[in-house]
Structure 1
Amino acid sequence: MQQSPLLKEFCEMFSRLRVYQISDQNLKIMTMNQLLDSFEDNELRTVLTKEVFDELYEIVTCKKLSMKNLILLLKHMGYCKALRGLRISGFKKSALSNCFSELIENDEKNGKIKLDLCECYCLLYDYGVGYVPHKICVPCPMKVAINKEESEKAQKDVEDALLALSSIGHFVV
């Protein structure tokens, strides 16, 4: 199968994620996110695979990618997936999903990082959410969704939280 120029560019950037300097990663990920927006459904499916999520897990655990940049990429992947209504099980089967589940379950803090982890988990995990993450992943974005602050940043956070919550169909006990 012939890769489109956009998919080829994304794959090249993805394969180089571990060699980019941390300072350059943010800019590269922003470019990758723009490419994701331009993908056809089949191209997006090519990117949202277990292998890609496992590779991201490896890159993060080797400290070649910051958690902030990982979340920036994953939230956008999940956002694109959710807006197109795609059902993809790549994240659910990945080591990254297990890592996120443990981080969500064991993190005592209830800050921005936990909210970001919950949103990524909800947007990317298909066919229900496991019980423990579910009991945390629903209240966390729910607190943001009921925010009545009217700033543009707060409204964007509310929209992200609502999209994450809308991605949860049911949960598995």
Structure 2
Amino acid sequence: MNAYTLAKTNNTKSLTELFKGLEGYDDDEQRKNVIEMNRMIEEMVRIELYYAFTIEQFDKISEMIDERKDSISYALFTLKCIGYFKELENTWDQSFDGHSLEEKYEKMIIGENLKKKWKNENLLISLCECYIVLTGGFNSDILLICVPCLLKVALRKEEDEETQKEVEMALLALSNIGTHYPIDQELYLNELKEIIKHHQEHHNLTRFAYQSAWKFLMYRLDNGRSLEDMITKELHFTREETKELEELLQW
């Protein structure tokens, strides 16, 4: 059995068993399965991540969301971990693309955003992160909701570990919005400049988060102009900041 087949067989089997544990009605049992599942995801290498998740497993998550509203937080946490580590390893497969979860996320994002009195900000943030990190193509109307929502998270300046992880995930999600999805500068430019400036003064972001912030920003700028010209004239950053970005892009 070659390495590809072994990775596909072992990890799919192990994760399938953990997914079954999410069906239970015992909250502690669900929590333990989610923790173990995410530990496995974190320890996987690129080839394992490529094969580990199947359409059937995404079907199970979709069923959890439909049948048990109290399971949504577990489902979203697991999906964020999948997206995070697949992005970190720069790998993806086609299991999620076109899955019914995409449309379900869009409806949930719109529904949660329309709420006034009982809006759940944390749920909306998680939905936006999962949608952008895992989805191959984006609905432009959904991005108009998600971008301001995630920038609000990314602007958090507390330096505790939990906040840093939240900021990193929000910026990672934003960095997945490619150049072919136009976004009005009024929705992001001042916020991104503030995030980058604050980091340069206080070093509050992880390197991955900082790189993600620049990646999102550079996707939005005119590709026909030189990097230095864009940074100095459009963003009003200094030559020192230009040099820092060039070094970051080489990392």
TM-score, normalised relative to structure 1: 0.85
Structure 2 residue matching 1:66: 3-state secondary structure: helix
Count of matched residue positions in the alignment of Structure 1 and Structure 2: 171
- Higher helix proportion: 2
Distance in structure 1 (CA, Å) of the matches to 2:26 and 2:120: 30
Please report how far the alpha carbon of residue 65 of structure 1 lies from its aligned counterpart in structure 2 after TM superposition: 6.3
TM-score, normalised relative to structure 2: 0.61
Contact 1:7 1:39 in 2 (8 A): no
Aligned to 1:136: 145
CA RMSD, 1 decimal: 2.3
Aligned to 1:54: 59
Q: State the 4+ residue runs in structure 1 displaced beyond 4 angstroms.
A: 3-7
Aligned counterpart for 1:151 among listed residues 150, 160, 175: 160
Distance in structure 2 (CA, Å) of the matches to 1:97 and 1:29: 21
Aligned to 1:87: 92
Identity %: 35
**5+ residue gaps, structure 2:** 183-251
Structure 1 residue matching 2:60: 3-state secondary structure: helix
Structure 2 counterparts to residues 2-151 of structure 1, below 5 A: 2=6, 3=8, 5-19=10-24, 21-63=26-68, 66-107=71-112, 108=114, 109=119, 111-126=121-136, 128-151=137-160
Contact 2:21 2:30 in 1 (8 A): no
Please report how far the alpha carbon of residue 158 of structure 1 lies from its aligned counterpart in structure 2 after TM superposition: 1.0
Change (3 A) 1:121 1:46: same
**5+ residue gaps, structure 1:** none
Which amino acid letter does the alignment assign opposite residue 117 of structure 1?
A: L
Which amino acid letter does the alignment assign opposite residue 167 of structure 2?
A: V
Structure showing greater radius of gyration is: 2
Distance in structure 2 (CA, Å) of the matches to 1:87 and 1:4: 17
Distance in structure 2 (CA, Å) of the matches to 1:67 and 1:129: 21
